[in-house]
Amino acid sequence: MVGLGEEDFSSLSPELIQKYTEQFKTPERFIQFNGNIVVLPIPAEKQDLAFLPDRFETGEHIQTPRDSFQVTAMSLEQMEAAGYGLHHISDGGEHLIIWKLLYSFARIIRETMPHIVSMENVPELSDENVFHDFVNALIELGYNVDWHVVYCPEYGVPQNRKRLVLLASRLGQIALITPLYNQDNYPTVRDAIGNLPPIDAGEQNEIDPLHRACRLSEINLRRIRSSVPGGTWRDWDESLQLPCHKRKSGRTYPSVYGRMCWDEPSPTITTQFYGYGNGRFGHPEQDRALSLREGAILQSFPPDYIFTDEDHPSNRRDLGIHIGNAVPVELGRAIGISILNHLQEVGTNG
C-alpha cells in the first residue's frame, strides 16, 4: 500500500477493494508520509475490540476516542453517495460512519434561521436516529417540515435512483411538487443517450471531449462481449469470472461488470460510473463503459453542459466526482419549483 497517493483510493478495482477489505478488516491506522498513504494494521493485542461494528446493532451510537459514530447497514455505494466516511467494516456488512455533518447543518440553521431549508440524501438516512433528531430540531425552531423518499424517474431523471428529499419553511406549509412522470413514461437510457455518436473503449469523440470512454483490457473486452443488457457476470464462461465472484462475499454483487438496458432507467450513477468494473455501467450495445458525457446526461445535466475550460482543466476522476455526487439536475429543478410555488403562495396569502 505504500506509494499510493490519496487520489488512488477512489479508483480501486472491485478485485482490489475485495483484497484490501479482507486484508485490513481489523482496525487500521492511516498515515500520510511525503505525499503517500501508508496503511498500518493495528496488532491484535493493541486493538480495542469493543469498537468493532459486529458488536453493535444497526442504528446504535458509539463514542470512540477518535470520533462519534453510528452503526449503519448502508452499502458502500450508498455511503459514497451520501458523502459519509467509512471507519470499519464488519463480516455482516455493517459499517461505522461519521454523522456529525447533519448535526452541524442543524447548528447552522439554528444560528442563521433561513426562511427555507432543503436537503437531499440517501433514503436509508430516514431510518437513522440522527435524521429524526434533525427533523425534531427544525420543528422546535418553528419550521413546517415535509420529507419523502422520491423515485427520481418520477421527476424526469433517467436513472433508477431514490433520494430522500426534505423541505422546511418558517413561512407556512411546504411540499415537493407532485410527480411529473409515471411507470408508463419514465425516461429511459435510450431516451437519454441513444442518439450520441458511437465510440470505442479508449476513444474520444472529436467534437465533444467529454464523450470519451476508458480503455479496456483484453480480458475485460471479452467480458463485456459476453454480457447482455440486464445480465450479470454469472452469464460468463467460468474462465472469465474473477476469484472474488466465486467467494461467498462476491456473490451478492451480480451487477458488477453488467450492461445497462436501453428501455429502462439506468442504475444509480456513482462517482466511478466511467469504470466498467464499478457497477452496471456497461453501454447497452457498445463494448465499453459509459462515457463521462453519458453519465452526466443520465444525471440529467443538459447534453451540452460545459464542466471545464482551458483555464480550469479537470481529470476523469474529478469529473466523475462532480457528476456522480451532483443532485440530479431535474430533481433539483423540481425542488426549486416547489420552493418558488411555496413563496408565491405565502406571498399571495400574506
- Write down the pLDDT at residue 224: 84
- Write down the pLDDT at residue 19: 52
User: Do the beta carbons of residue 237 and residue 132 sit within 8 Å?
Assistant: no
Separation CA 4–CA 6 (nearest Å)? 7
- Write down the pLDDT at residue 7: 41
- Write down the pLDDT at residue 144: 97
Separation CA 212–CA 201 (nearest Å)? 8
| Helix ranges (DSSP H) in the chain | 14-23, 76-82, 100-112, 129-140, 189-193, 218-225, 243-246, 292-298, 316-324, 329-349
User: Do the beta carbons of residue 119 and residue 165 sit within 8 Å?
Assistant: yes
User: Do the beta carbons of residue 206 and residue 215 sit within 8 Å?
Assistant: no
Adjacent-strand bridge partners of 167: 118, 146
- Write down the pLDDT at residue 342: 97
- Write down the pLDDT at residue 332: 96
- Write down the pLDDT at residue 96: 44
Q: Among candidates 103, 179, 187, 93, which has minimal Cα distance to 138?
A: 103
- Write down the pLDDT at residue 48: 40
What string of pLDDT tens digits covers the 350 residues of the chain? 333 434 444 444 555 555 555 544 444 444 444 444 444 444 444 444 333 333 334 444 444 444 444 555 555 555 544 444 444 444 444 444 445 678 889 999 999 999 999 999 888 888 888 899 999 999 999 999 999 999 999 999 999 999 999 999 999 999 999 999 999 999 999 999 999 999 999 999 999 999 999 999 888 888 888 888 887 766 766 666 666 555 554 555 566 778 899 999 999 998 889 988 877 899 999 999 999 999 999 999 999 999 988 787 778 888 998 999 899 999 999 999 999 999 999 985 54
User: Do the beta carbons of residue 251 and residue 259 sit within 8 Å?
Assistant: no
